[in-house]
Amino acid sequence: MHNKFIQIEHVERAFSTQHGLYTAITDINLTIRRGEFVSIIGHSGCGKSTLLNLVAGLIPLTRGVLLCNGREITGPGPDRGVVFQNHSLLPWLSCFGNVYLAVERVFGAAEPRARLRERTEQALDLVGLKDAQHKYPHEISGGMKQRVGIARALSMQPTALLLDEPLGALDALTRSLLQDELMRIVAAQGCTVMMVTHDVDEAVLLSDRVVMMTNGPAATIGDILLVDLPRPRDRLALAEDPHYARLRGEVLKFLHHRHAQYAA
């Protein structure tokens, strides 16, 4: 985990509005190492999703440099799998069909159909959905839909996984189960992960570092917390861990301080 994998250097993103130029984020500098799990946290409107969308190549930057594995990010690519809070599944395709579509797009020109099907089944198996692969989105729960979204992203064998509050709309129990699943999958795949979240416990539980954003407009990185908890992590054991409580408190203190500044 020593090398620079995602490099974000002096990045700024401004949007044209009817009231003039709105600078969402400015002077963002962050290096994410290969295999590292980094969470981005902050109050609403601090540009967390904007930053993730820039790394995903979904929107252009206004100024600065964005690199992934030494290459400039100029648009979306299969090296970066994206999972959104809204699962974005195609309702007329089964779970298998939704994942197969991504597999075919990435590997279809080079591999036979049997291998594409195998890749699809492996991805669904990885998220525990092998038995539900022929169901359609309207036939499965919200948590299962998010699993399909994660399977679809992983099926492309990305080197980076970009998660925009992927568990944000789920109930607490489903969310905690999928957090554990996510830890297991990331450990097995060795992905580099960048995740946007509002949830302090989620950020500390899953991450190697937590990047805390200042309030917008013109938001930037306010602080970065190193989460030096050993892996694998057990949420029940951590609930009694005083060091976990201290780390959680650091993030809460930062967010509370920023909220107080914003309110003032």
1-79+159-234 domain in CATH 3.90.1150.170? Answer: no
pLDDT, tens digit only, all 264 positions of the chain: 458 999 999 999 999 999 899 999 999 999 999 999 999 999 988 899 999 999 999 999 999 999 999 999 999 999 999 998 887 899 999 999 999 999 999 999 999 999 999 999 999 999 999 999 999 999 999 999 999 999 999 999 999 999 999 888 788 888 899 999 999 999 988 999 999 999 999 999 999 999 999 998 999 999 999 999 999 999 999 999 999 999 999 999 999 886 556 544
- Residue ranges per domain, the chain? 1-79+159-234, 89-157
d(CA 107, CA 111): 6
What does the pLDDT look like over 158-212, one tens digit per residue? Answer: 999 999 998 887 888 888 999 999 999 999 889 999 999 999 999 999 999 999 9
> What's the predicted TM-score (pTM) here?
0.92
